[in-house]
Amino acid sequence: MRKIIRASRRSMGMDYAIREVNVPAEEAEKAGKKLIGLNIGDPNKWDFQTPEYFKEKLRRAVDETDNGYGNSQGNLDFREAIVDREYEKHGVRITSEDVYVSAGVSEGINALMGTLLEPGDEVLIPGPGYPSYAQYIGFYEGRTVPYRQIEEEEWAPDVDMIRKRITNRTKALVMINPNNPTGAEYERKDIKEIGDLCAEYQIPLISDEIYDKLAFDGDFFSASRLKSDVPRIIMNGFSKVNLMPGWRVGYFYIMDDTGLMDEIREGVMKQFRARICSNVPCQEAAKASLQGPQDYIEDMNRKLKKRADFSYKRLNEIDGIETRRAHGALYMFPHVDLRGRWKSDKDFVLDLIKEEGVVLVHGSGFCKEFGNDHFRTILLPPLETLEEAYDKLEKFMARHQ
């Protein structure tokens, strides 16, 4: 009898909802359905393009840089450019030794969870929240502990719940601001209260700020500005603001005056040495994106805000759909009244793909406790594409009255 080689529980337990819906979408497309993909936050798939001077730098970097291995932590001149940019953006004072360059934020999440967690350890994450955090926590046999974002309060984090859910197994607290998937931007007072909790319980705050320059109200408060007694890891990258998602360049920096994370730094570096280095020519191009003109970001925000305003108005006009306004990032997280027509929000999403070809992501894919009966959509397409998609959604909802 032929032996079947079994995949590990770790790998089979992963379920990244944002791309898992591509599987039924591709089946629908093969059956002749025209798709409108509103599931992936890729600006370059729409009318946002990587600035030409980034691309030109990458072309020249292949000829002008040493194409051998780079520094495992990230090339020094690139890390120094990140230090300068973080000071320019947030007034934060860090050094190049605090910065770790990764292949996108995802590799940083993987490395941090691989360093922080032993089986059974807990990480507090926002519910709903970007699913890569839960996936890698589970991969390393940790336990995901979601905390509620309060929909009625513009998706503000429930700080009281955070306190109640901290235990002696809590190893870190994740904050995503501006938020994926809700489009929320957290108030300064909430961020400070979360920081105070982390200082009190001596747990690191992992603040994912990849959308920091896509805050529509223009008054973003970075966790890097919290008091020095808060142990922090600030995540960022070049896929969204810098319009280079396929180049896979990200970074994080550690701020820890307490000394709590000295061993975490070394644990991360042991993993980074094993993976050798991040892409060297792309580091050169990413560095140029930090140092050159930034006016394209203003245009990007103008487009996104206009599309967010349209989506807010149009979605709230559809019977059975209700949404809060997006204040940043690339997303909106509407509530859908399933009314017994669908067993779950995933069934709703799958039927919408089959019948109308509109591809959304089911809210439970972002949190089974606090994401149910919702879906995530994106703000990236031009208005005419959004209008077509939401017209189809309205027909779909009416058909299932």
Question: What would the pLDDT profile of 179-206 be if each residue is shown by its tens digit?
Answer: 999 999 999 999 999 999 999 999 999 9
pLDDT at 34: 93
pLDDT at 2: 77
Mean pLDDT of 336-346: 93
Helix residue ranges, H only, 173-319:
188-201, 262-274, 280-291, 295-316
Q: pLDDT-derived band of residue 311, with 50, 70 and 90 as boundaries?
A: very high
pLDDT at 195: 97
pLDDT in tens, 285-294: 999 999 989 9
Q: Is the pLDDT of residue 46 over 80?
A: yes
Q: Which fold has domain 9-49+295-399?
A: Aspartate Aminotransferase, domain 1 (3.90.1150)
Mean pLDDT of 327-344: 95
pLDDT at 28: 87
**76-90 vs 280-291: helix axis angle to the nearest 10?**
30
Q: Is the pLDDT of residue 64 over 90?
A: no
Q: Is the pLDDT of residue 15 over 90?
A: no
pLDDT in tens, 355-373: 999 999 999 999 999 999 9
Domain ranges of the chain: 9-49+295-399, 65-291
> What is the rounded CA–CA span in Å between residue 195 and residue 231?
8
Q: pLDDT-derived band of residue 141, with 50, 70 and 90 as boundaries?
A: very high
pTM above 0.85, yes or no: yes
Percent of the chain exceeding pLDDT 70 equals 100
Q: What is the DSSP letter of 215?
A: B
Q: Is the pLDDT of residue 1 over 90?
A: no
Mean pLDDT of 72-85: 96
pLDDT at 44: 94
Q: pLDDT-derived band of residue 65, with 50, 70 and 90 as boundaries?
A: confident
First to last CA, the chain: 52
Average confidence score pLDDT of the chain = 95
Q: Is the pLDDT of residue 382 over 80?
A: yes
Percent of the chain exceeding pLDDT 90 equals 88
The residue that leads in pLDDT, 258 or 249, is: 249
Taking domain 65-291, whether its CATH number is 3.40.50.11030 is answered by no
> What is the rounded CA–CA span in Å between residue 334 and residue 362?
10
Q: Is the pLDDT of residue 115 over 80?
A: yes
pLDDT at 172: 98
Q: Is the pLDDT of residue 69 over 80?
A: yes
The residue that leads in pLDDT, 335 or 10, is: 335
Distances (CA, A) of 367 to 116, 147, 214, 274: 22, 10, 23, 32
Q: Facing residues of 205 across strands?
A: 173, 232
Q: pLDDT-derived band of residue 296, with 50, 70 and 90 as boundaries?
A: very high
Asked if residues 213 and 297 have their Cβ atoms less than 8 Å apart, the reply is yes
Distances (CA, A) of 13 to 109, 127, 240: 17, 19, 28
Mean pLDDT of 196-218: 95
pLDDT at 13: 86
